[in-house]
Structure 1
Amino acid sequence: MEVPVLSDRLPLISLVDIRKHYGGGDKPRVEILHGISLDIHAGEFVAIVGASGSGKSTLMNILGCLDKPSSGRYDFAGRNVADMEADELAWLRREAFGFVFQGYHLIATETAQENVEIPALYAGMPERERAERAQALLTRLGLGERLHYRPKQLSGGQQQRVSIARALMNGGRIILADEPTGALDSRSGEEVMRLLNELADAGHTIILITHDRDVAANARRVIEIRDGHVISDTGVLQPSLANTAPAFKLEADASQVAWRGDMLEACRAAWRVMWVNRFRTALTLLGIIIGVASVIVMMAVGMGTKERVVAELGAFGTNHIYVRPKHESSKVPGRGISVGDLEAIGDIPQITYVLPNLSGNKVVRYGNQDVQTRIKGSGAAMARMLNWPVEKGAFFSEEDNQRMATVAVIGPRLAQNLMPDVENPVGETVLIGNVPFQVIGVLVSKGAVTGDQSDDDLVVIPYSTASMRVFGERDPSYVTLEVGDMKQIDAVAKAVDDVLFSRHQIRDYGMENAAGWIAAQAKTQDSMSIMLALIAVISLLVGGIGVMNVMLMTVRERTREIGIRMATGARQRDILQQFLTEAVLVTTVGGVTGVLSGLAIGVILVFWGMPVIFSLSAIIGAFFCSVITGLVFGFMPARQAAKLDPVVALASE
């Protein structure tokens, strides 16, 4: 920006026919100032005196660039203030003016030192330097032992001195004091006026707004205003004395320094606000925490379930093709999968083994115990093909199959239910129907349950025995084909289809392969995981809406604080940054807590036996989604705060 520079003859402040009105249109028009014209030179101690409602406070707000005139011209050091942008006006309030308000206008959550540091903070002064300067000013004003007191812990006179120290923080070449003694006892009022006189003697330009003529008598020039008109002016300082005030200078990169250096201060202030309103903050955090934790837990459970399903299916081999007759055709005599079909399929080069299977439910008896369970007739290669070894004993051999041996391998749960008092079932005899079978092995537990049946209740016997002595059927219920090269499984499936279709002339059979099952199950689990994640994201969005509502409420509650910050030089982007930082900090804390909660819940689920696999991408994604939620939903309230009119914000309760 173009920096104002004072000359010997140029008035510091020049008002020409300044008018101010409120209302108009649908509202009654109220004229406050009626053509005020006056000049104020650097180094003057001016008192503007008038009764309540005379327009003196409105005039002060215009002088301090907190408000704009409805018409007229206001030149500061020769430059028309109306041509200045918002950031330039903020620079004037920060670098040129220092405000001393009747109501002190200190930020309640900040200490005396922190209140004094605010103008330097927005000017980009380094932290150590501004702390030293604030301490020096407060010590000079007799508050050296109360640096860390909050406004409520200070008397009215002490708060006013803090306000004066804040006005001097950036140099305060022009002090605008609005009824500085109005809320003080006589002794404190005298102290404040003594300080203002000392500042005037030191070359500061003092503009005192008061209704008290005795207070105004301390000034070297008194301007009386009544009903928006200047009715008297005791005189003007000679222009030749204007050079007692130095030119105003602005470092070219001050705004950049402030933007980079204020982030830590914005986080500190945001954390303090969160702590002061911790119950409300906790309720706001709850939505974010639930959303983030839900994303992590649901994705972890989804991935764990998918891994378990794939592992269980993969345990039966992924290089298998399953062929079974269709339900309707299998009831027609001569239809289904015949022994001749098995021989024809076995001639396909890539098929390394053809395993017929025959299954059904039968009653199994041992002593006085009987259990109805699933009986499966299969070949000796079943244990190898399905990766299903025995825990005790041995699996039957191909020789047992050829000679229709009455031997059986049973599941561990069936052994427990059927022979609760037998430590080792191997060697015991059971009845399947009316046929006695010798138990030669106990299968390893699979743990898989389908409906009321479990693989651990299965009885496996040789296929020939099942066909001739148990079920009385030669044709298998289904056939398992082992493919030598997994990459050729689709080609082999087509070859099997060609063989069967040429023999049957109709597709009265169906084919599936384990790889297809696994892919289908994985796709189903992925869909479930996405659905669960979307539900979690919705809860995260609900949390974001909660953040926006709380931030809007915060803006309303802290409107005066926003006005104070603007009066001490905060730009719109400083206010935007402050409130956006608060929103992001809330969601960041919620995100971290949500991640920790999600991990803790996941660990608990692991102890409960749930399949859980944590996804680093889900954790990082959920956390950054919470941060982005703060940015998105915090922007509107932050922008609303940044757009507030300084004078309106200061007047709010």
Structure 2
Amino acid sequence: MSTSATRSAPGAVPARPAPPETPIIELVDVSRIYPNGESVVRALDKVSLAIQPGEFVAIMGQSGSGKSTLMNIVGCLDRPSAGLYRVNGVDVEDLGPDELAELRCSTFGFVFQRYNLLPSLTAAENVAIPAIYAGMGREAREERAHALLARLGLGTRSEHRPNQLSGGQQQRVSIARALMNAAPVILADEPTGALDSRSGEEVLALLGELNAEGHTVILITHDPDVAAHARRVVRFQDGRIVSDERREGEPPRTPLPGTGPARRGGLARFVPDLAEAVRMAIASMTANLFRTALTLLGIVIGVASVITMLAVGDGGKQSVLERISQIGTNLLIVRPGAPGIRTAGDNATLLPDDAEALRSISGIDAIAPDRSGRYTLRYGSLDYFTTVTGTSPDYLAARDWTLSRGVMFTQADVRAYAPVVVLGQTVAQNLFGADDPLGRYILVKNVPYEVIGVLAPRGANAFGQDQDDVALVPLSTGFVRVFGRQFLNSVTVKVGNADDIPRVEAAITRILTERHQAEDFQVRNTAQFLETAMETQNTLTLVLGCVAAISLLVAGIGVMNIMLVSVTERTREIGIRMATGARMSNIMLQFNTEALVVCSVGGAVGVGLGLAAALGVEWMGATIVLSLMPPLLAFGCAFLTGLVFGYLPARKAAGLDPVVALAYE
């Protein structure tokens, strides 16, 4: 070109040179310092470096020269102690952990010396990991993973696990993983260090092809022969750049546009992430079946205990309430003796006329005075010792009792001192067996009584006493022929409406106090007795539930311990996931989900076992009550246990430093 051609016309404005392209990687006076006792180690010392899009750069140096530290900083796995680092003009110092994860996901693809493949996953699943954190759908990422493996000559090996692949094949899987999100920058840390020469050449050739396609390739190596494949070689020594050489005559590369796929946000991201977390949790559980079974055992026992104990407790409560209800509802029981004083033997302060005086109170459905004693009944040559109760015809109405056959004696029988008797089921069976007792005669104190009725069976009462072990006679007949003295053991008053009980109780107290000129009697409310019994049973049920809850708590602590062990064992896996773009929330979700899945599966098995155990207890003769609430409560507690006790291990996993996690042995 002639000199005149390069001169500007007089008065013309000189042409400005085109502005330089923004470096994709730019470091300005970057230092990385590590404390070492009282001194410090300068892994990087004021390093300045700019890498343009589409370059193939080799960072070369001996071990300890700082090249791997540089790669960790460039790949946003580590932060500089001082200096400025920009990616596509963005200052990394201003980015938080999740923003750095976003940058790793969309901009960088890592190729490690030791491959860093997850042994429990297939080659295709390893390749697809970055796409999970980019929010790519499952079908799309599987299709892309298989396509990448096919391109790299591993199409027939995509379903093989890492231990079924050679070193060169594993490194190709690692490269495919780096390409999964179409990351513009490939960071290769000693990619041939663990390979034979042939496999190493294949990997370097592949990196060259990727660079020719527009990828920016940064190659970390100590081998000059490996570095010779790059178009630019930056040599490090003692944490500083000692040379920066470019190969002349290489054609320019067209860099890849953009920075990889954009991640979805909000619910559109959470639902797929949760689904993947559940899938990975199940895979982790099946990979350690024995440990998972032991962890599940604690949850299963805890949930089953809650269901069984609550079923037994509720059954006991129902049994007690049924027995109390057999006494009768809306009842007031009047007994002789001053309040708060237990009487022994006969007490003559309550008389038949007192019972008659109470009939003037409105709202009363039935009044049944009674006097009881233990006597021998005889039929033929058979004797039976039982309770004989003299009472009125209202006794059955007051006690909500019915007859299985025959009739109850009447008020006319009471006035006539009739020698008739109504037998309980136990007495009838012991004296007559299978024979019909109606119309037969039995002897009570050598006086014959005609059997006119048999009571319906009632079973044991709240105190375990057999209510069917009784014989009823008219009160007048009992006074004259059985008991002798004419006073009562109690008066049972049945009130028609429960709301009237306080008024009727007050009226009874007033009338009897006026008649006796003293409060030498007690009025007991069966509703209060029922309430007291319910409170007692509720307390017992609560105690049983607390015992079961403690076992569930212990199981939760066991889950937390196992998960903490799992975090330690899988530290390198966590580092790999972070390097491929996992956010802290992804790691938190994964490990919390694993705890939730363990506890949910244990809870479901525990619910089934608890129901089976409760039915087994019922089969052995105990009373149980099965309802929907205890299984729901137990399963909910198991789920909450996973949520609470899985949080600490998940937080520990999410808080790991990616560099430290990747270096963990």
Same fold per superposition (TM over 0.5): yes
Task: Give the share of equivalent positions with the same residue, in percent.
Answer: 49
The SS at the match of 1:224 is strand
User: Is 1:174 matched with 2:185?
Assistant: yes
Question: Aligned match of 2:374 in 357, 361, 364?
Answer: 361
Aligned residue number for residue 602 of structure 1: 614
231-240 or 153-162: bigger deviation: 231-240
Deviation at 1:246, TM superposition (A): 1.9
Q: Give unpaired runs (5+ residues) of structure 1.
A: 1-6
In the TM superposition, 1:364-379 aligns within 5 A as 364-379=377-392
| Mapped partners of 2:662, 2:347: distance in 1 | 96
The SS at the match of 2:387 is strand
Deviation at 1:473, TM superposition (A): 2.2
Contact 2:60 2:233 in 1 (8 A): yes
Contact 1:122 1:258 in 2 (8 A): no
Aligned residue number for residue 268 of structure 1: 279
| Mapped partners of 2:159, 2:347: distance in 1 | 98
Question: Aligned match of 2:199 in 188, 206, 215?
Answer: 188
User: Is 1:623 matched with 2:640?
Assistant: no
Contact 2:408 2:453 in 1 (8 A): yes
CA deviations on 1:557-580 (whole Å, 9 max, x unpaired) are: 111110000000111111111111
Aligned residue number for residue 396 of structure 2: 383
Change (3 A) 1:255 1:649: farther
Aligned residue number for residue 442 of structure 1: 454
Change (3 A) 1:252 1:516: same
Deviation at 1:236, TM superposition (A): 7.5
Deviation at 1:628, TM superposition (A): 1.8
Deviation at 1:306, TM superposition (A): 2.9
CA deviations on 1:336-360 (whole Å, 9 max, x unpaired) are: 1123322221222223432111112
Aligned residue number for residue 526 of structure 1: 538
| Mapped partners of 2:345, 2:439: distance in 1 | 40
Aligned residue number for residue 8 of structure 2: none
Contact 1:123 1:258 in 2 (8 A): no
| Mapped partners of 1:452, 1:368: distance in 2 | 30
104-113 or 426-435: bigger deviation: 426-435
| Mapped partners of 1:69, 1:551: distance in 2 | 32
Contact 1:448 1:455 in 2 (8 A): yes
In the TM superposition, 1:253-402 aligns within 5 A as 253-254=264-265, 257-326=268-337, 335-402=348-415
User: Is 1:632 matched with 2:633?
Assistant: no
| Mapped partners of 2:143, 2:496: distance in 1 | 82
Aligned residue number for residue 232 of structure 1: 243
- 2:180 partner amino acid: M
Contact 2:336 2:347 in 1 (8 A): no
In the TM superposition, 1:20-169 aligns within 5 A as 20-24=32-36, 26=37, 28-169=39-180
Deviation at 1:27, TM superposition (A): 5.7
Contact 2:332 2:523 in 1 (8 A): yes
338-347 or 290-299: bigger deviation: 290-299
| Mapped partners of 2:396, 2:266: distance in 1 | 76
Contact 2:236 2:242 in 1 (8 A): yes
Deviation at 1:450, TM superposition (A): 6.5
Deviation at 1:244, TM superposition (A): 2.9
- 1:312 partner amino acid: R
- 1:363 partner amino acid: T
| Mapped partners of 2:353, 2:86: distance in 1 | 108
User: Is 1:567 matched with 2:582?
Assistant: no
- 2:664 partner amino acid: S
Change (3 A) 1:639 1:175: same
Aligned residue number for residue 490 of structure 1: 502
Aligned residue number for residue 657 of structure 2: 645
Change (3 A) 1:146 1:254: farther
Deviation at 1:222, TM superposition (A): 1.8
Q: Give unpaired runs (5+ residues) of structure 2.
A: 1-18
- 1:361 partner amino acid: R
| Mapped partners of 2:467, 2:125: distance in 1 | 72
269-278 or 72-81: bigger deviation: 72-81
| Mapped partners of 1:185, 1:432: distance in 2 | 111
CA deviations on 1:128-179 (whole Å, 9 max, x unpaired) are: 2111111110111111122222222222211111110000001121111111
In the TM superposition, 1:412-451 aligns within 5 A as 412-420=425-433, 423-448=435-460
The SS at the match of 1:48 is strand
User: What is the RMSD computed on CA atoms of the aligned residues?
Assistant: 2.6
Contact 2:417 2:474 in 1 (8 A): yes
CA deviations on 1:255-274 (whole Å, 9 max, x unpaired) are: 76433321111100011111
Deviation at 1:181, TM superposition (A): 1.3
| Mapped partners of 1:260, 1:518: distance in 2 | 52
Contact 1:196 1:206 in 2 (8 A): yes
- 2:146 partner amino acid: Q
Aligned residue number for residue 3 of structure 2: none
Change (3 A) 1:452 1:612: closer
User: Is 1:458 matched with 2:470?
Assistant: yes
| Mapped partners of 1:563, 1:117: distance in 2 | 16
447-456 or 185-194: bigger deviation: 447-456
Aligned residue number for residue 3 of structure 1: none
Change (3 A) 1:613 1:513: same
The SS at the match of 1:18 is strand
| Mapped partners of 2:645, 2:477: distance in 1 | 72
Change (3 A) 1:241 1:501: farther
Deviation at 1:387, TM superposition (A): 2.7
Normalising by the residue count of structure 2, what TM-score does the alignment of the two structures yield? 0.91
| Mapped partners of 1:202, 1:329: distance in 2 | 102
Contact 1:383 1:389 in 2 (8 A): yes
Contact 1:175 1:204 in 2 (8 A): yes
Question: Aligned match of 1:614 in 611, 622, 626?
Answer: 626
311-320 or 640-649: bigger deviation: 311-320
CA deviations on 1:163-216 (whole Å, 9 max, x unpaired) are: 100000011211111111111222222221121111111111111112222222
Contact 2:127 2:173 in 1 (8 A): yes
In the TM superposition, 1:195-210 aligns within 5 A as 195-210=206-221
| Mapped partners of 1:61, 1:331: distance in 2 | 91
The SS at the match of 1:455 is coil
Contact 1:117 1:131 in 2 (8 A): yes
115-124 or 185-194: bigger deviation: 185-194
| Mapped partners of 2:35, 2:85: distance in 1 | 22
The SS at the match of 1:356 is strand
Change (3 A) 1:650 1:43: same
- 1:251 partner amino acid: A
User: Is 1:555 matched with 2:567?
Assistant: yes
381-390 or 119-128: bigger deviation: 381-390
Normalising by the residue count of structure 1, what TM-score does the alignment of the two structures yield? 0.92
Change (3 A) 1:105 1:332: closer
- 2:418 partner amino acid: A
- 2:637 partner amino acid: C
| Mapped partners of 2:452, 2:122: distance in 1 | 85
Deviation at 1:98, TM superposition (A): 0.5
Deviation at 1:38, TM superposition (A): 2.0
| Mapped partners of 1:535, 1:523: distance in 2 | 18
Count of residues in correspondence between the two structures? 645
- 1:397 partner amino acid: T
